[in-house]
Structure 1
């Protein structure tokens, strides 16, 4: 029941239900009586009610009792709280006998609970507080009533049938009258339905009726007692009375212990079901989730394992993105990544393809990769990546973790087929599951409830999730929860099966972003600290005993190739790697100086020889465009090249002692000479060497969805202020100002302007009706400041801002009554 009528002028401030005297309380009046803090808690717990912000409390009540909004609220309830709500629906149905609603003591008896006696520790009190906070129930003179939509959403609360009054009302009048005449022959009730319903509302009368049936009929009742309340039988609508009943089913039909609800369906009335259960609503009531079962791991081991995995993730994705900076992967026509490119990405990150798909989806969600705008698109790092890699390791990991928590894409679906038989590709369509973020948060929040270091078994975790969110249980949710466990371990949110300490701050009620700083502080203490030194060895390798500082890591990746990763990273120096550094503009002295500064061990002679030898040969030959040409200051080297039998395919011709031309273009000539071991360097038209690193390209990041999780309470408080202002505008006492009904539109507009100008001169607030740009009729309380040019400039208390109103859109104006 909702009601948005204006309260009477004599409304009592201490009315417990918020309604005016002389009128029955309504859900809307109760909402209106809630404090700003309580309304803020409601909008924080159910943020969908404030998107967009309702015009007033009446609109909020209507939205809160809508089907979709109530369904979303039910999904947030645990099993016990849901049982409490079903108890309120079953016992507080307005189709039962008066008074309407259920008292907490009645609910406790129905659940088989006894008061704990300790303030604040009674699970029933906590559950009722939750239901009141979510506005799923509301108080009415000491009794709790469910919102009306729950009758539709929970048609069989506690597996009980509808009340007898609802079942009997659907019967033909003659059938209802026959039942009334048989069961209550001298009733004074106004209708046969009321006669029978009143009789069944008396447990003593129900007991008497049950005692009259035989043992087979009683067994039928017992079979239906705990639900479901429906049974199937042929010719359920048969006409039968007490005198003509000849079978167990007919005995029950004749006494209204079963009522026909279809041609072959009989239903057990709620009053009869409650009697058969001896007033107990559920066979099994658990006020707490099942205990965790699992193995205990030392908490410090969990933290080390999770931090180690977080470090592995960072190193893997950085390796891939550096490679994609130079050799991007192609974009498929459907926008995804091909199987071959996924396999190459997995090899680059030294992981399996399933984990590689997860990392790629997380990188995209974090805005670190995107597609370029070319016709043949490519996957590239974005400009955000350049900023991201300059941050500390813990903050780099946090960006990935938060992106995963908020992403609605499920990497584990990669390789599966959609309804049309098409294979789903990583980064492509078909991987979106809107429930994925909620499932991930459910899993991690439940794991956070275990003591530190406890790695729960899969069955134990599933049982607790089923208790915590019974309305969300489905094959899809089970699949998403299983994927969340696997993905959390791969990303370093868990370690050795238990939740990591640096993950707990991300699970705050204010949102993951609110706990990011605390999570970063915890993770920073566990991550290995970046090092500024390496150990160069005699076999042309260098060992980095941990993560390197950013500058050293880049320079070392330029001059050496990664040979193996793990707790330490092994780099190998080769001719190609040294030449790569020389091509990027580094000199021999730059390379040796870098290694001498950062190596804790002396540089071996073999490495010095390698660098100097490659450096000596680097650039001795220079390629240009003729078809192409070779130029060298050493005639003997060019003579050696022309005589080299391996170079016959180069079509070389000696023009002068220091110049040779070729039939190949410069790029092909340079590549072929490098394969032959001559190490040429391209030169420009003025004879200077062209040394540069390979082109580094970047893509534009995808537009990010603003994260308002940390601002939820602030937004809720702002919404409450707007609601109060809108409610005041809709319900304030007002004295209409007469406007000319006839005449031209201009005469009415002039009269409006005169009234508003007079209010501006007098500094008075007025009420106006207004048609907004969407065509909606809204109410506003404004303080006029200026009227000119067909517009009213006024302070709008509803919007808490100065606004310009078009005079021709104003539908009415009224002076505010006392207190306005």
Structure 2
């Protein structure tokens, strides 16, 4: 018997019926069909890959749920105890052991050495079996548990046991199986020698008798005991030797002659599963742990952990914004492999005031969040995207959540930057060598395990490793361990953890509740300030984060000198001129500083602003090649006489006009170096002021935000409705309507139109076979509302919407036997 969906016979009915038709053995598909909508929705939430795309019907879902890759993915998510329970069902419920197929729950408990729990709700075995049933890895068959068929291949040695004797015997030459049958059960009435010996070994008492026959030989018994707990294979020369009870001359011969060891290769002997179970006295594992090992570590106040993580989150926001603002003016170059060079990484680390490893992480996260991309030039540059402009206007907590979510879903590991690949090539930041597909799952494993500890508890690394090994035993490998270590350091740098413990705002984030995460983080993030402290040494101190408007104005009129707990801005002649070039007037700059400074403006700063403003724009540069115009002839006379300006080739044309051989941009730049303050002039004589050009790259295709398109519960429920409707179309009893195969052109379409038009008039539902736009043959149950112009308008239950069908794509039509209840 097989549970593969393709071999399943569909029962008649609406597709929502639970038990199979009388007289038919249950199948995995029939069991799946009998699950409630809530149970199916739970399955699709737990295994979302089964609904991408939504299967056509429940038979297709059963096929996908039992496919090799789908089951491998879900096995990696089982903890050690649940995996031991599953291996027990696979080992004892193998349909090659004996009839009836499957294993009772009580036998699983006995094989694990578990006593019944006083409260079934607290029984770990009950919870594990419910988990496995909910994941569709096991299913009940007439009071017994059966594993899905593919597990026989994926877990070939469950609990380190060998294959059933029937499998090993079937691989023997016919003569060898017959010799064993003649020696061990000469009076058997089984149909074949293989069945004779397999039936013998399925009886524990007879296996015990065979083991007792060799127990007098210490070497034979030691050999059995060494293979009892696995591995069940041993190497020996001439494993396929011809041996009988009469000719056995060695301990190995004695075991082979009694079928206690059977050859599985030319030089390999295997302990049959039935013999291994007896030698273990019915137990499958030496040690069974129903819960992970306890945490060991340090307790911290939960509030202190969250505050520290929130402070680091603010540091991340400030660093990313400072870097992207810098790169909007002076972009970093794109390497040939699409990455970022070492020099640009060092420059980025200086801008963000951090080390290169942390800077690499921040750059990768900004790129993953869609805030950073390359332009479309031949020699590309890394530039902020248009999405960055929207991002910096959001509240701080929302900005951080976008970065954190992007990191959680990214398959790139920034800490590998600078390492070498197998070919000796250096892995560049933002280059192709940092991709690790298992990285997102390693991050969620780590953070999820930290979330199981009490708030504020920081486990020791060794304790955390032991917990992770119990939680995800099939993922343990040196590569996974490296990814977990990288995830731990990156989470701390990004503000997801503090003092080694999980921050409180991360718990709802892991569950997909961004609103709750934002509320918690907003309470701990520093409040943006609308003031600064202007000091007498031409600096201004911002004791915290500034509101966006003030931050932009201050960055325009002053340069950042240092960052930390407070940001120090310095006013210089160049920074003030930058503000004036952007169109700000002397009064505007002074009024802004007076409005936002908690301290009086020092006289030195007023003098600096007024002095730069007095000289700003007195000269105007145009194009002659270029020219200078000034309303003060004395200033032009001074300039023409200035020997430092000889390289400009100045020629006085009039008392207020001087021409130059240099271009306007070169003229303006050189005069600024000489201490003059010209501004560009247009052809109409007006000044051309403006901020430096802000360049942006096209937005990248970022991953959809959590919750986009509906919650996981809503999507799962919609998928279940589509599955039920598709299953109804596939299994409903129908009476095919004969359509002409031969005849005049269009006669078949005419017949289809008549049937559909009649169904529309009478308000009946019909089944149709249909070729969709991808060329796939699908089944639909539709309720036509009108037929016109070669198209049918009908309610499609599969899509739960009204849809237009092209009549020429309809391949078959059938009337339904009966309407389902409730319609």
How far apart are residue 24 of structure 1 and its match? Answer: 0.8
Confirm whether residue 660 of structure 1 aligns to residue 658 of structure 2.
yes
Give the SS at the match of 1:120.
Answer: helix
Confirm whether residue 410 of structure 1 aligns to residue 410 of structure 2.
no
Matches of 1:542 and 1:621, distance apart in 2: 31
Matches of 1:63 and 1:637, distance apart in 2: 84
More displaced, 626-635 or 64-73? 626-635
CA shift in 2, pair 1:751/1:179, >3 Å: same
Give the SS at the match of 1:726.
Answer: helix
TM-score, length-scaled by structure 1: 0.96
Matches of 2:774 and 2:628, distance apart in 1: 74
Matches of 1:529 and 1:122, distance apart in 2: 49
CA shift in 2, pair 1:629/1:772, >3 Å: closer
How far apart are residue 28 of structure 1 and its match? Answer: 0.6
Matches of 2:303 and 2:241, distance apart in 1: 72
How far apart are residue 681 of structure 1 and its match? Answer: 2.1
Partner residue, 2:562:
564
Partner residue, 1:369:
372
Partner residue, 1:36:
37
How far apart are residue 360 of structure 1 and its match? Answer: 1.4
Give the SS at the match of 1:174.
Answer: helix
How far apart are residue 308 of structure 1 and its match? Answer: 0.8
Confirm whether residue 383 of structure 1 aligns to residue 381 of structure 2.
no
How far apart are residue 733 of structure 1 and its match? Answer: 1.6
How far apart are residue 180 of structure 1 and its match? Answer: 0.9
How far apart are residue 347 of structure 1 and its match? Answer: 1.2
CA deviation vs aligned residue, 1:387-406 (integer Å, no higher than 9, x gap) = 11111111111111111112
CA shift in 2, pair 1:703/1:216, >3 Å: same
Any conservation in 1 of the 2:169–2:177 contact (CA below 8 Å)?
Answer: yes
CA deviation vs aligned residue, 1:294-348 (integer Å, no higher than 9, x gap) = 2222222211211111111111111111112222222223322222222211111
CA shift in 2, pair 1:676/1:752, >3 Å: closer
Matches of 2:604 and 2:698, distance apart in 1: 45
Matches of 2:113 and 2:745, distance apart in 1: 69
Matches of 1:473 and 1:659, distance apart in 2: 79
Confirm whether residue 627 of structure 1 aligns to residue 625 of structure 2.
yes
Give the SS at the match of 2:711.
Answer: helix
The correspondence of residues 28-67 of structure 1 with structure 2, limited to 5 A, is 28-67=29-68
Partner residue, 2:783:
783
Confirm whether residue 502 of structure 1 aligns to residue 505 of structure 2.
yes
CA deviation vs aligned residue, 1:419-457 (integer Å, no higher than 9, x gap) = 554433222323222222211111111111111111222
Matches of 1:671 and 1:186, distance apart in 2: 109
Confirm whether residue 716 of structure 1 aligns to residue 703 of structure 2.
no
1:269 to 250, 269, 272: 272
The correspondence of residues 348-747 of structure 1 with structure 2, limited to 5 A, is 348-508=351-511, 512=512, 515-707=513-705, 709=707, 711-744=711-744, 746-747=746-747
Matches of 2:591 and 2:748, distance apart in 1: 88
Matches of 2:295 and 2:341, distance apart in 1: 42
How far apart are residue 363 of structure 1 and its match? Answer: 1.2
CA deviation vs aligned residue, 1:141-166 (integer Å, no higher than 9, x gap) = 11110000000100000010001111
CA deviation vs aligned residue, 1:709-740 (integer Å, no higher than 9, x gap) = 56221111111111111111111122233334
Matches of 2:658 and 2:812, distance apart in 1: 93
CA deviation vs aligned residue, 1:590-644 (integer Å, no higher than 9, x gap) = 1111111111111111111111122222222222223333333333333333333
How far apart are residue 242 of structure 1 and its match? Answer: 0.9
How far apart are residue 654 of structure 1 and its match? Answer: 3.7
Give the SS at the match of 2:338.
Answer: coil
2:309 to 297, 306, 312: 306
Any conservation in 1 of the 2:15–2:33 contact (CA below 8 Å)?
Answer: no
Matches of 1:745 and 1:140, distance apart in 2: 53
How far apart are residue 33 of structure 1 and its match? Answer: 0.6
Matches of 1:470 and 1:153, distance apart in 2: 15
CA deviation vs aligned residue, 1:190-227 (integer Å, no higher than 9, x gap) = 11111111111111111111111111011111111111
Matches of 1:771 and 1:379, distance apart in 2: 47
Any conservation in 1 of the 2:627–2:657 contact (CA below 8 Å)?
Answer: yes
Partner residue, 2:11:
7
Matches of 1:321 and 1:329, distance apart in 2: 10
Partner residue, 1:795:
795
The correspondence of residues 317-336 of structure 1 with structure 2, limited to 5 A, is 317-336=320-339
Size of the aligned set, in residue pairs, is 812
Matches of 2:475 and 2:252, distance apart in 1: 38
Matches of 2:745 and 2:437, distance apart in 1: 51
Matches of 1:679 and 1:10, distance apart in 2: 85
The correspondence of residues 127-206 of structure 1 with structure 2, limited to 5 A, is 127-206=128-207
How far apart are residue 745 of structure 1 and its match? Answer: 5.4
1:294 to 275, 292, 297: 297
Give the SS at the match of 1:96.
Answer: coil
Partner residue, 1:279:
282
How far apart are residue 801 of structure 1 and its match? Answer: 2.5
Give the SS at the match of 2:121.
Answer: coil
Partner residue, 1:764:
764
More displaced, 126-135 or 406-415? 406-415
How far apart are residue 493 of structure 1 and its match? Answer: 0.8
Any conservation in 2 of the 1:4–1:57 contact (CA below 8 Å)?
Answer: no
Matches of 1:567 and 1:291, distance apart in 2: 38
Give the SS at the match of 1:562.
Answer: strand
Matches of 2:54 and 2:301, distance apart in 1: 48
The correspondence of residues 61-140 of structure 1 with structure 2, limited to 5 A, is 61-140=62-141
How far apart are residue 32 of structure 1 and its match? Answer: 0.7
Matches of 1:136 and 1:334, distance apart in 2: 44
Matches of 1:704 and 1:796, distance apart in 2: 33
More displaced, 483-492 or 801-810? 801-810
1:234 to 225, 232, 237: 237
Matches of 2:654 and 2:761, distance apart in 1: 99
TM-score, length-scaled by structure 2: 0.95
Give the SS at the match of 1:212.
Answer: helix
More displaced, 115-124 or 366-375? 366-375
How far apart are residue 95 of structure 1 and its match? Answer: 0.6
How far apart are residue 788 of structure 1 and its match? Answer: 4.0
How far apart are residue 12 of structure 1 and its match? Answer: 12
Give the SS at the match of 1:286.
Answer: coil
CA deviation vs aligned residue, 1:77-116 (integer Å, no higher than 9, x gap) = 1111111100000010001122211111111111111122
Any conservation in 2 of the 1:240–1:254 contact (CA below 8 Å)?
Answer: yes
Matches of 2:563 and 2:377, distance apart in 1: 35
Any conservation in 2 of the 1:10–1:20 contact (CA below 8 Å)?
Answer: no
